[in-house]
A and B are shown apart, each in its own frame.
Chain A
């Protein structure tokens, strides 16, 4: 094993770059994820800064989506999934006993790869979270919240006359913005985005990317993307995953111009991935 080292398994035990920062919104330490016997994430530690956009890149199956789903405990819904280590949101361990996944997910929202509006009206899609959590006390407040959220997701002008038509009838890009609108309607602190534009055309993608930058003024955003250009365009920091290991984290500029790790360089220069 030791004498047959290929260029790919050079020192992947240590994350290169600057995984740790001050004033972190989320800090993950020594996270490991298992599906039954199979290990999907190895000893991963990273800090995610407040009001930043952090992009997670890496080849398919590298564990970036799995890691993302740990951040709002979405992996709880998969029975065979086990998580070790520690993830703190504002210095509270989100996997602690007293921590409630429902409350956590209200604080850490998520947008998925494929737009998944509920088969309800556009209005009800956006109002869903607020109604669940009892965030508004009357119809006027709710109307107001729906309008504001749609506005901030840049969708309101397109749908203001069709609020009671089904959300599934919108175009792909509009559906994705609807999903973003319904996420920000409950005013989370962090928004996780799992390849949010991979099912969209370039124009819709551009609209979403603009929206992300706009939203990062208020929210902390973690985005998983398979597009390095997207990571370069929107994120302040970029993390590179490889086969379940977090290889390198750094300012986006540094990662793309001066990667420390050979694997990162191979990936961003397009030698594989």
Chain B
């Protein structure tokens, strides 16, 4: 053995422990990075679930309402117009009064009425209009509780705080305890959240309008971006001439557009679709148009990847049998690549579904209390609804924001799940 090698070996050996310690540290950084990322994800999901789950329940108040002709101001023979003008809130007031006869004073009476949501009057009105023969009887109703009461029942308000620091008065606390004792307060599944649209009153607010709006926007986006994206990708992959300036230009533009901030697409929508073409603001049509332009690069890029994966032999076989290039592309290559294309489209759609910023630009932030009936009706979408609610001071709205996020993520999980299954099918194919 050479002498120098011996010395070298000693030097190397001495440093080995240090080097391995470094190696372990480096590995640790790697594990830590992944752990931090995943921990953040889990914190996010757990935080949202814990805060959002209560919103799927809603407190209801049970009251016996005397549907007296004198109180309501309507009779069983009244016409629709008279029914609409009936004094239903008086019926609720008197019903509350019978439960708590000792309440005195304007302020306290108002606080008492604040136990029940304002939707209670419509509930009675609808009941009376459907069953005019019940007028004069006393009926038991379950009304939505006011949002503050709901939050309190779910444990969101600390009763040990001084009265001025909480949104529920001392008197109301006493009444709530009484109602609880009488089993007149009950938590039930929050159907309102799924069957109603946005409202100024948290307990009456739901996501139906936003979900329908999202679906309409997705419909427009899908109908436009899928055919356009696939045709563009087929052109670029199967037909585009090499070294053509225009084709190069298209490629550069697609790659760049994929990385342009989404808000810039919103500016484009505002200036071109709304400003130039006069498409009305806030409607799913213009939302769909903007999101189409935004998702096109994604769909084109993934579709091209799927087309690339189709073996060249399929093309040669088709051409050898006398098919034209168009027939080859649309009868053989595109069907073979379809699962991949659909996967890419779903991923693009999932992106579009979660997108918020460009829609703010084109006015989809308006307060819309109705379910949109078509692509030309003002509407909002689920992520924008989340944005709108997130800004509210009411605790019940914040809770609903979390719940709406859960629904949105639920949709996204579903779409990605379908995409994963598609990918499985795709992988088996070749």
Contact = CB atoms under 8 A, between A and B. Distances in A.
- Note whether A and B contact each other (Cβ less than 8 A): yes
Contacts of A90: 1
Given A187-B2, A187-B4, A187-B5, A103 B11 contact: no
Interface residues of B, number: 12
A107 B8 CA distance: 9
Given A133-B11, A134-B11, A135-B11, A107 B5 contact: yes
B2 A189 contact: yes
A100 interface: yes
B12 interface: yes
Interface stretch (B13-21, B147-155, B218-226, B268-276): B13-21
Interface in B8-51: 8-9, 11-13, 15-16, 19
A90 B2 CA distance: 12
Given A133-B8, A186-B8, A103 B13 contact: yes
A107 B9 contact: yes
B419 to A, nearest CB: 30
Contacts of A135: 8, 11-12
A189 B5 contact: yes
Nearest to B14: A134
B15 A134 contact: yes
Nearest to A50: B1
A188 interface: yes
A79 B261 CA distance: 43
Given A107-B5, A187-B5, A218-B2, A102 B11 contact: no
Contact of B16 (A103, A186, A187): A103
Nearest to A133: B12
Contacts of B16: 100, 102-103
A106 interface: yes
B5 A188 contact: yes
Q: Which of A102, A132, A186, A188 has the most CB of B within 10 A?
A: A102
A203 to B, nearest CB: 32
A187 to B, nearest CB: 5
A132 B4 CA distance: 17
Nearest to B19: A102
Nearest to B20: A102
B301 to A, nearest CB: 29
Contacts, number: 36
B13 A189 contact: no
Contacts of A132: 19
Contacts of A106: 8-9, 12
Contacts of A100: 13, 16
Contacts of B2: 187, 189, 218
A103 B5 contact: no
A169 to B, nearest CB: 29
A144 to B, nearest CB: 13
A218 B4 CA distance: 11
A187 B19 CA distance: 20
A133 B4 contact: no
A243 to B, nearest CB: 32
A54 to B, nearest CB: 18
Which of B4, B8, B11 gathers most chain A CB within 10 Å?
A: B8
A218 B12 CA distance: 20
Contacts of B1: 90, 189
A265 B204 CA distance: 93
A103 B9 contact: yes
B377 to A, nearest CB: 59
Interface string A89-110: 0100000000010110011000
Nearest to A102: B16
A189 B9 CA distance: 10
A26 B1 CA distance: 12
A271 B95 CA distance: 109
Contacts of B12: 102-103, 106, 133-135
A106 B8 CA distance: 9
Contacts of A188: 5
Interface string B214-239: 00000000000000000000000000
Most chain A beta carbons < 10 A, residue from B2, B12, B13, B16: B12
A102 B70 CA distance: 97
Interface string A127-155: 00000111100000000000000000000
A133 B15 contact: yes
Nearest to A218: B2
A218 B1 CA distance: 10
Contacts of A134: 11-12, 15
B21 to A, nearest CB: 13
Nearest to A188: B5
A135 B11 CA distance: 7
Contacts of B19: 102, 132
Nearest to B15: A134
Nearest to A219: B2
A218 B16 CA distance: 26
A188 B16 CA distance: 17
Contacts of B9: 103, 106-107
B22 to A, nearest CB: 11
Interface in A136-193: 186-189
B356 to A, nearest CB: 42
A253 B413 CA distance: 71
A187 B5 CA distance: 6
A135 B13 CA distance: 11
A73 B9 CA distance: 17
Interface in A221-241: none
A267 to B, nearest CB: 35
A20 to B, nearest CB: 21
A135 B9 CA distance: 9
A90 B11 CA distance: 19
A136 to B, nearest CB: 10
Given A103-B16, A133-B12, 7 more contacts: A100-B16, A102-B12, A102-B16, A103-B12, A106-B8, A134-B11, A134-B12
* Shortest beta-carbon contacts, A-B, top 3: A133-B12, A134-B15, A106-B12
9 contacts: A100-B13, A102-B16, A102-B19, A106-B9, A107-B5, A133-B11, A134-B11, A187-B4, A188-B5
Interface of B: 1-2, 4-5, 8-9, 11-13, 15-16, 19
